[in-house]
Structure 1
Amino acid sequence: MNTIVNVRKVTEQLDLDKVFAVRRVVFVDEQNCPPELEWEFEDESNHFLGEVNGEPAGAARWRKTERGYKLERFAVSKEYRGQGVGQALVQAVLNDLPDDAVYVYLHAQVQAVSLYEKFGFEKTGPMFEEAGIQHYKMILNKAMDKG
């Protein structure tokens, strides 16, 4: 059976519940992130649901901050890793950013740095800990952006 990966922006509560369920399993259960850190800025964020053959498989969001546009909460369920869900999520989120999104950044878990580099993100500054996990701040190099 062919794997069909689909990512869509979601606003309905039923879809948001699927997004939050993926994030809960990946961040809270698997990575032991404190739940109180996981559920912040939900109302001001733009949420995305990744599906594989119609099943919830991944989640992501972006929001506008004082510094620019922050991409956050990229999560792919364990059983769907390695099937292109992460790449599809990054592409969908980047495609959804407004035209005035000049400064785009994220905090990448160390093991995900190479994924974001494929899209033109570059590490900046030293490694740091966030929610008990090592991260790098990464900034999108607009010269490599979608144009």
Structure 2
Amino acid sequence: MSLQVQKVIHPEELDKVFAIRKIVFVDEQNCPPELEWENEDVSTHFLATNNGQPCGACRWRKTDAGYKLERFAVLKDFRGQGVGRALIAEALSDLPEDAHYIYLNSQLDAMSLYAKFGFVAEGEQFDEAGIQHLKMVKKV
């Protein structure tokens, strides 16, 4: 497996990111499309490929609170092969030096993955697009 994650620069790469997110969030998880596409222009996007084939995506953006990692999506055929880990690592390494408060909203079954990168759950479980989540904050 030749796994690569790179920052999205070209519009055609962004189209691949959106296609992956549509399959995972809208088709598989039944998220409303209008909730799925927001803040795209203020986000930094990443695309994972395996042997050149798009297989995963994520993004980060600056919010009033700090830096939020979000929209982690890996196509079904590529799950359990380190794509999520590679996406998290690349997104974290791309954050500015002054990114002191880094957080995300994790689906419950992904929490152990984020925990490997120093994220700790905070607060109560909540519903986002019909799926249970917990806020996780990276402890520096």
Query: Normalising by structure 2, what TM-score?
Result: 0.99
- RMSD across aligned C-alpha pairs, in angstroms? 0.4
Aligned residues: 140
- Counterparts of 1:55 and 1:111, CA distance in 2: 25
- Counterparts of 1:117 and 1:58, CA distance in 2: 19
Within the alignment, does 1:25 sit opposite 2:23 as a pair?
yes
1:34 alignment partner AA: P
- Counterparts of 2:80 and 2:50, CA distance in 1: 12
Structure 1 partner of 2:131:
133
- 1:4 Cα deviation after fit: 1.2
Stretches of structure 1 that go unaligned for 5 or more consecutive residues are 143-147
2:42 alignment partner AA: E
Deviations 1:10-65 (A, max 9, x none): 02110000000000000000000000000000000000000111100000000000
Runs of 4+ in structure 1 deviating by more than 2 angstroms, as ranges, are: none
Structure 1 partner of 2:76:
78
- Superposed, which structure 2 residues align to 1:109-124 within 5 Å? 109-124=107-122
SS of structure 2 residue aligned to 1:20? helix
- Counterparts of 1:100 and 1:122, CA distance in 2: 20
Percent identity, aligned pairs only, is 62
Query: Normalising by structure 1, what TM-score?
Result: 0.94
SS of structure 1 residue aligned to 2:72? strand
SS of structure 1 residue aligned to 2:125? strand
